[in-house]
Each structure stands twice: as structure tokens, then as C-alpha cells.
Amino acid sequence: MKDLKTKHDCKKELRDVFLKSTPARIGILEALEKTNKPLDVASLIIYLKEKSIKVDNVTVFRIVNILLEKGLITPIQLGEGKFRYEHISKSDHHHFICEKCNKIEDISNCNIDILEKNIQKKKGIIIKRHSLEFFGICQNCQN
């Protein structure tokens, strides 16, 4: 898992939504903030174990559900039959998934916001969020 600089004070984020700052909750938020790809629950469990945070698998699922409910994380489905999660602070972006090695890469700076505005205007609707994934073969697998 590639680490990026942590952007937020996880304890404050939890306090702001009236949740207790437990090591497991903080660890899950930190994992999602530090990575450049969405993580599934199995990856979160591995991250917590690497950080010596003792928590059972059921508790991790419960924490993920409460963080979803409180709006701190967002779910992502990439056609794998499971959910992955990202911290809500990540700017709008999309994903490329390699069909050979399953590598996931963020795709940003696409002009989907223009398309979104046109759809809203034409249809008279309000779009709150969207999901767009690209599937194909990454550079490494093409060789």
C-alpha cells in the first residue's frame, strides 16, 4: 500500500460526527487517507494488524458501516462482487482496473463535470454523486 501524507486529524473527524476515537476507527480512517486506491475490508484488516491494532473482523465490518453512515467514507464497487472504500476527502476521480492483474489506478482530471452539468440541465435533475470505471489492460500487462 503506497502511503500518501495524511490529510486530516482523524480524532477530530470522529468527534465531529459524535463517534469515540478508538484505535481501530482511527486506523481505518488513516489507512483510507494514506492509500492511492480504494481498499476492501480484508485490506483494512491487514493494515490494522500491521499497525498492531487488535480488533476482530466483525468489528471492522461494524466500523466500516458506521463510518459509511456518518459520511466519512464512501463505497465503491469495481465489478468484483465486493465493496471497496475511500475516504470522503478524496477529490472526485474515477478508476482504471486492469483485467489481467487487477491493478487499480486513480483517473483524475477528466471532464466528467461538464457532462454531469449538461445531464442535470437537460433532464432537470440533481446529481449528488456518480461512479465511472474504466476496464482494460495496464501498461505492465501489455508487455
Q: What would the pLDDT profile of 77-107 be if each residue is shown by its tens digit?
A: 887 889 999 998 776 678 888 989 988 887 8
The last residue of a domain, from among 48, 71, 87: 87
Check whether 2 has a pLDDT greater than 80.
no
Check whether 137 has a pLDDT greater than 80.
yes
- Residue range 20-58, pLDDT digits in tens: 999 999 999 999 998 888 999 999 999 999 999 999 999
Residue 53 and residue 36 share a domain: yes
**β-sheet bridge partners, residue 79:** none
Neighbours of 48 (CB within 10 A): 22
Q: Is residue 5 part of a domain?
A: no
- Residue range 59-78, pLDDT digits in tens: 999 999 999 999 999 898 88
pTM: 0.74
Residue 25 and residue 55 share a domain: yes
Residue 62 and residue 20 share a domain: yes
Residue 61 and residue 45 share a domain: yes
Domain that holds residue 100: 94-142
pLDDT computed for residue 133 by the predictor? 83
